[in-house]
């Protein structure tokens, strides 16, 4: 049997399990993107891109940041991001996935312990797999379980540093982490706290500073803020203490050996941060939509998540995919999520709320869901 034959057998097995993925064109009303503030197609960001091109900003960087790829737009963005979020330093990388992976692959050292929330993103798992430290999961959103894991590790002879990895808002359940409790735990234990703000940056906090607003300035905290969701762009910002930034520049293979992100995109992210600094109007509109949706979900027997991410857990993967297909046929872009992206028995519809939709469209979707359920 050739390698291609084995690949085809594996694909066929995924198909029989109802887990084979496929790429489809965009169609229907947007209830699946993470463009929470509706900035991805916003005229203000299009103008920012046009203006940047007009003043000669390059499309491509031409090399890694340590060679000739360290464009002035990258430097300006990092300075402005650090000022906006209140951190000592910032580092711009190609994606949130890259940020989580290079952080966990680089910072924890042999003899250290990484504790991670059981529902943490796949990119964190990839970083831990590439890294040198031991890693253990703790129960979702449970600081006491993390505390117990640290105590057990110390009792077993662990003497290194502890790293605690959480998300502030989880992408499949739409629930928030008790960040204050995790922060207190990190301070008690002398641990480093890694917070992925992918789904909270731009949506929460004064001027879109997220649920971790104020933690960026703490030396023991590293905050990842992706630019491809509410900011409407691409890439990710790592907000951290200055020595962490310098260590990553010197040791993170995922940074050192990657071509730098597009200077044009860096210029547009700068414009997006300026929009956040300019007021809360978009945030306020989104939260009114979340409140409206919460009432609509409650009326049909679905417990509202209270965030822009609303899961409808159906359990069976086949049922989730059939329901998603039925909704797509009715003009709604809603996707079914199956294991291994969620735990076994946790297949669901993942509905997201963005400023690309209206309250009436949410009301209509709720009526449609009621009929199908």
Total domains in the chain come to 2
Residues 273 and 288 in one domain: no
Diameter over CA atoms, the chain: 61
**Nearest in space to 209 (alpha carbons), one of 195, 219, 220:** 195
**Nearest in space to 329 (alpha carbons), one of 65, 113, 28:** 28
Q: CA dihedral defined by 312, 318, 322, 324, rounded to 10 degrees?
A: 40
Residues 157 and 299 in one domain: no
Distance CA 25, CA 42 (A): 21
Burial group, residue 330, by CB count within 10 angstroms (0-12, 13-18, 19+)? middle
- Asked if the model's pLDDT at residue 251 lies above 90, the reply is yes
3-state class percentages of the chain: helix first, strand second, coil last, to nearest 5: 45, 15, 40
| Integer-rounded Cα radius of gyration of the chain | 21
Q: Which residues of 253-270 are buried (b: 16+ CB within 10 A; e: fewer)?
A: ebbbebebbbbbbbbbbb
Q: Count CA within 13 A, CB hemisphere, residue 194.
A: 30
- Residue 15's pLDDT is 87
pLDDT in tens, 261-301: 999 999 999 999 999 999 899 999 999 999 999 999 999 99
Catalytic site residues?
A: 34, 121, 167, 171, 196, 199, 229
Residues 119 and 251 in one domain: yes
Question: Of 19-23, 51-55, 255-259, which range is least confident?
Answer: 19-23
Residues 226 and 288 in one domain: no
Sign of the C-alpha dihedral computed for residues 173, 175, 176 and 182 taken in this order: negative
Residues 50 and 197 in one domain: yes
For helices 242-251 and 96-106, the axis angle rounded to 10 degrees is 90
What is the side-by-side strand order in the sheet with 347-352?
A: 309-315, 347-352, 335-337
Q: Which residues span the domain enclosing 183?
A: 43-277
pLDDT in tens, 65-124: 999 999 999 999 999 999 999 999 999 999 999 999 999 999 999 999 999 999 999 999
Distance CA 164, CA 146 (A): 8
Residues 154 and 181 in one domain: yes
**Nearest in space to 203 (alpha carbons), one of 77, 308, 46, 120:** 308
- Residue 1's pLDDT is 84
Q: Which residues of 172-182 are buried (b: 16+ CB within 10 A; e: fewer)?
A: bbbbbbebeeb
Is the Cβ–Cβ distance between 300 and 366 less than 8 Å? yes
Is the Cβ–Cβ distance between 240 and 222 less than 8 Å? yes
Q: Strand pairing of 221-226 and 236-240? A: antiparallel
pLDDT in tens, 124-181: 999 999 999 999 999 999 999 999 999 999 999 999 999 999 999 999 999 999 999 9
Residues 93 and 132 in one domain: yes
Distance CA 57, CA 243 (A): 29
The domain spanning residue 304 has which CATH number?
A: 3.90.1150.10
- Asked if the model's pLDDT at residue 312 lies above 90, the reply is yes
- Look up residue 64 and give its DSSP letter: B
5 in a structural domain: no
Residues 269 and 289 in one domain: no
- Residue 114's pLDDT is 98
């Amino acid at each position: 049997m050739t390698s291609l034959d084995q690949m085809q057998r594996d694909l066929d097995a995924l198909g029989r399990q109802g887990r084979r993925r496929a790429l489809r064109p965009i169609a229907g009303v947007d209830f699946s993107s993470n463009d929470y503030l509706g900035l991805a197609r916003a005229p203000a960001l299009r103008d920012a891109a046009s203006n940047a091109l007009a003043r000669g900003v390059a499309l491509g960087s031409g090399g890694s940041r340590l060679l000739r790829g360290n464009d002035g737009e990258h430097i300006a963005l990092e300075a402005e991001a650090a000022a906006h979020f209140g951190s000592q330093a910032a580092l711009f990388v190609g994606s949130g996935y890259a940020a989580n992976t290079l952080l966990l692959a680089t910072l924890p050292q042999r003899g250290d312990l990484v504790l991670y929330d059981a529902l943490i993103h796949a990119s964190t798992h990839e970083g831990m797999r590439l890294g040198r430290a031991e890693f253990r999961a703790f129960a979702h959103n449970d600081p006491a379980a993390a505390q117990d894991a640290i105590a057990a590790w110390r009792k077993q002879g662990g003497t290194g540093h502890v790293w605690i990895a959480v998300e502030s808002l989880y992408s499949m359940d739409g629930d928030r982490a008790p960040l204050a409790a995790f922060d207190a735990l990190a301070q008690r234990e002398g641990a480093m706290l890694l917070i992925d703000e992918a789904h909270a940056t731009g949506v929460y906090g004064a001027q879109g500073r997220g649920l971790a607003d104020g933690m960026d300035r703490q030396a023991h905290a590293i905050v990842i803020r992706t630019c491809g969701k509410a900011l409407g762009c691409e890439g990710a910002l790592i907000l951290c203490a200055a020595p962490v930034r310098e260590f990553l520049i010197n040791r993170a293979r995922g940074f050192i050996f990657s071509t730098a992100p597009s200077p044009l995109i860096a210029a547009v992210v700068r414009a997006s941060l300026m929009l956040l600094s300019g007021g809360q109007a978009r945030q306020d509109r989104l939260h009114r939509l979340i409140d409206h949706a919460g009432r609509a979900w409650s009326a049909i027997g679905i417990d509202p998540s209270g965030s822009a991410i609303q899961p409808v857990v159906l359990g069976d993967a086949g049922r989730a995919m059939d329901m998603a297909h039925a909704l797509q046929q009715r003009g709604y872009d809603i996707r079914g999520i199956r294991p291994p992206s969620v735990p076994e028995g946790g297949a669901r519809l993942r509905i997201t709320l963005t400023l690309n939709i209206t309250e009436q469209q949410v009301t209509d979707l709720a009526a449609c869901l009621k009929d199908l359920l």
